[in-house]
């Protein structure tokens, strides 16, 4: 059995017809089954606003699989299932939940817990420099994107593709704030973390087009980010010399 996801696009109760909008990957999978000419039976589970969305669940399981493939962590990485149970247990422990209380299922889970669980997996992947098979910006809930942007700045990780050793790219023009990167106070200026490839793309198409393409807002530089990147956060006073 293969789990597929779709969003209801059109419903005709009189004819008993349902039209679904599906991802390209899931649609191709369904076409493969259909090509066998065997009768297919689909099980449909409707979700409400508080249940984990198919997108959330798919992203969480992709992250768990990436962590398992990395083999970073120890003996508990024996299988994908053991990896899932380990991180379920970690989440329950740090959030004061009883054993077995957390789940990614649509029956037991909820959106907010799933978002926090995904953030925990992303933090683990960032800490251990684990390559991700999917781009977080394409999968995260809108309200979670800023957290990912901030984490990438701290870890010098590309916010688009997740590559390490990324550059800090200013969103707010440095020229408009004094021009000299060594002397201006960077606190409060917006920035993002980009690998060399995406940094070049940003310069090629322009900052606003780039931000719109990837749905980025930029993060205001605070002291933690400034320290991580060796940015100046002190004001330089200009000395006025009077010749007599």
**Interior CA angle at 152 toward 78 and 127, to 5°?**
30
* Assigned domain for 241 exists: no
> Of 144, 140, 196, 148, nearest to 168 (Cα)?
196
Q: Is residue 244 part of a domain?
A: no
Measured between alpha carbons, how far is 136 from 132 in angstroms, rounded to an integer? 8
pLDDT at residue 38 is higher than 90? no
Note whether residue 219 is domain-resident. yes
CA 159 → CA 107, 132, 220, distances in Å?
A: 32, 12, 15
The pLDDT value recorded for residue 189 is 92
Specify whether 13 is located in the same domain as 38.
yes
Kindly tell me the burial class for residue 71, based on how many C-beta atoms sit within 10 Å of its own C-beta (0-12, 13-18, 19 or more).
exposed
Question: What is the structure's pLDDT at 28?
Answer: 76
Would you place residue 15 in the very low, low, confident or very high pLDDT band (cuts 50, 70, 90)? Answer: low
Residues 198 and 151 in one domain: yes
Q: Are residues 68 and 115 in the same domain?
A: yes
Q: Check: CB of residue 141 under 8 Å from CB of residue 115.
A: yes
Any domain includes 32: yes
Domain final residue pick, 78, 108, 134? 134
Same domain for 191 and 166? yes
Domain of residue 85, residue span = 54-134
Confidence at residue 182, expressed as pLDDT on a 0 to 100 scale: 65
Overall domain count for the chain: 3
């Amino acid at each position: 059995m293969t789990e597929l996801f779709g969003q209801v696009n059109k419903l005709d109760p009189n004819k008993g017809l349902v039209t679904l909008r599906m991802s390209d990957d899931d649609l191709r999978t369904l076409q493969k089954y259909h090509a066998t000419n065997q009768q297919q039976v689909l099980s449909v589970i409707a979700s409400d606003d508080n249940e984990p969305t198919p997108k959330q669940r798919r992203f969480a399981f992709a992250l768990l699989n990436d962590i398992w493939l990395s083999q970073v962590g120890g003996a508990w990485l024996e299988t994908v299932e053991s990896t899932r149970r380990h991180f379920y247990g970690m989440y329950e422990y740090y959030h004061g939940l009883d054993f077995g209380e957390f789940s990614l299922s649509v029956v037991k889970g909820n959106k907010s817990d799933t978002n926090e669980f995904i953030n925990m997996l992303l933090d683990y992947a960032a800490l251990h420099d684990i390559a991700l098979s999917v781009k977080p910006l394409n999968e995260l809930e809108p309200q979670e994107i800023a957290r990912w942007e901030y984490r990438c700045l701290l870890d010098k990780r590309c916010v688009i593709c997740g590559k390490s050793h990324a550059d800090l790219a200013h969103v707010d023009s440095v020229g408009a704030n004094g021009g000299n990167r060594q002397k201006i106070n960077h606190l409060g200026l917006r920035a993002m973390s980009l690998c060399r490839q995406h940094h070049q793309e940003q310069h090629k198409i322009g900052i606003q087009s780039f931000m719109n393409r990837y749905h980025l807002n930029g993060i205001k530089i605070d002291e933690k980010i400034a320290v991580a990147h060796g940015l100046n956060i002190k004001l330089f006073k200009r000395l006025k010399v009077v010749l007599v």
